[in-house]
Amino acid sequence: MNKILKYSQISGFQSKSFDFKATEHGHSAERRENFMYNEESLPDNAGQRDKNIDTLRGFAMMYVVFIHCLYWIVLFNGKYISIIRSLFLIEMPLFFFITGASNALGRKRKLFDFYFSRFQRILLPYWIYGLICIALTVIAQKTTGFEQSTYFSLSIPTVFVPVSNVPYLTGALWFVPVYLYIIIIFPFLRWYYERHENDAGKFIPLLIFPFLLSNNGWEALYDAKMLFFYSFWTYLGLFFQKIDILGSIKSKIKVIPVVILCAIAVLWFLNKGEHSFDMQNNKFPPNIVFLVYTAGALLTFYLFSKYIITGLNILRKNKITGWIYKQYIENCYSMFLYHPLSFLALYVFLKYSGLDEYVFQNRWICLFVYIIITIPATAIIGKIFSWTEKIKIKTTL
């Protein structure tokens, strides 16, 4: 059974008037200023999209689908193969790194405007997906004899949490409350970074968050460890503009000793016998071992990032793969919410067509089938439901 996280309460918003309207994403050109944000000081290119971030965003979402192919199909079991499989679990740190990098490029707004914009973009699509989960659960019950007495739980005034035992539907929803936590503290992380951008003080949060994770006293506080871990990666994303993402391996040679140190540190932690060799166990909740491991893994990714991004950009030039990749970039959140539907649809098709007996005979063939079908299927489903991301509630204070 998936762990349902407790949600921190979100303060309600009061406004004088609301205008319900679906609009395209964009940034207001209006000049705004408050104690934290001053748009007058923004560079001329503020608010523009970074093509490398877009490429990484699309890759990260595709990688999430790949990871769920590894884990949701339950093909690779056993002690050692589970450990090897868990070494691929770098998708969420990469996601939150991109979150920090992309939000840092956005135009600054008043704190209320920032929260209101982000919360509605996260929660409205989430609630709509929750209703779909309920509908599919009811359909499953009526057509298959599926027994589920509780379709959902309701937490007011925070987040609507769909609960269902229908395969795949709620397997990735742990991400949403963590994302909300990060959005709440992001303006303060950005504020701190910008005031220490030119001095050593900017590195202090990168030391504080690992220290908090290494404190075993936090073990009982599941949500706190989630916040510390993903705050680390979000804050690190603020350094993106200083990173030579397209540099050659030779230009990044200084990273190699750090990767080696991360590997040694992970082995040292594991040798103490207090942590699991399976990184999946270190991920929920994240601990210092998972942080050090993912740091080394993503630094290795960084070493080869020039060639990875070049290869991904070649895929984007193809008409078919380019369209798929475009959906993963433009409708990333919709992809994340609705990608379980592609797994569910394929599962139902294989089961009722009788093809499951043949596909599941060889786990490698099964994995291949799931990858080549769920990735494009997710692009189509995400595109269909992308309108949920464009719902806007305009407020005038």
Does position 310 have pLDDT exceeding 80, yes or no?
yes
Q: In the structure encoding, which two tokens stand for residue 62, read together?
A: 């595709």
Residue 152: predicted pLDDT: 52
Q: What is the per-residue pLDDT across 191-244, written as a single tens digit (0 to 9) for each?
A: 999 999 999 999 999 999 999 888 766 555 788 899 999 999 999 999 999 999
Give the residues across from 162 on adjacent strands: 152
Domain borders along the chain are 44-396
Count Cβ atoms within 10 A of the Cβ of residue 354 and give its class: 0-12 exposed, 13-18 middle, 19 or more buried: exposed
pLDDT value of residue 396: 62
Say what the pLDDT of residue 218 is: 55
Burial class, 96, CB count within 10 angstroms (exposed 0-12 / middle 13-18 / buried 19+)? buried
Residue pair 97/298 in contact by the 8 Å Cβ criterion: yes
Each residue of 65-76: pLDDT tens digit? 999 999 998 777
Is the model more confident about 396 or about 180? 180
Average pLDDT, the chain: 83
What pLDDT does residue 221 have? 79
CB 155 within 8 A of CB 7: yes
181 vs 35, more confident: 181
Let me know the angle formed at the C-alpha of 348 by 373 and 340, rounded to the nearest 5 degrees. 60
Mean pLDDT lowest for which of 25-29, 229-233, 319-323, 360-364? 25-29
- Taking the C-alpha atoms of residue 380 and residue 328, their distance in angstroms, rounded to an integer, is 10
Quick one: what percent of the chain has pLDDT higher than 70?
Answer: 81
Task: Express each pLDDT in 319-357 by its tens digit.
Answer: 999 999 999 999 999 999 999 999 999 999 998 999 988
Question: Residue 291 CB: number of other CB atoms within 10 A?
Answer: 23
The predicted pLDDT at position 75 comes to 76
Q: Is the pLDDT of residue 311 over 60?
A: yes
Chain segment 161-189, per-residue pLDDT in tens: 556 778 898 889 889 989 999 999 999 99
pLDDT of 121 reads 92
pLDDT for position 31: 31
For 88-143, write each residue's pLDDT tens digit: 999 999 999 999 999 888 888 899 999 999 999 999 999 899 888 888 888 887 78
Considering only residues 26 and 281, tell me which one the structure prediction assigns the higher pLDDT: 281
- The band of 12, judged by pLDDT with boundaries at 50, 70 and 90, is very low
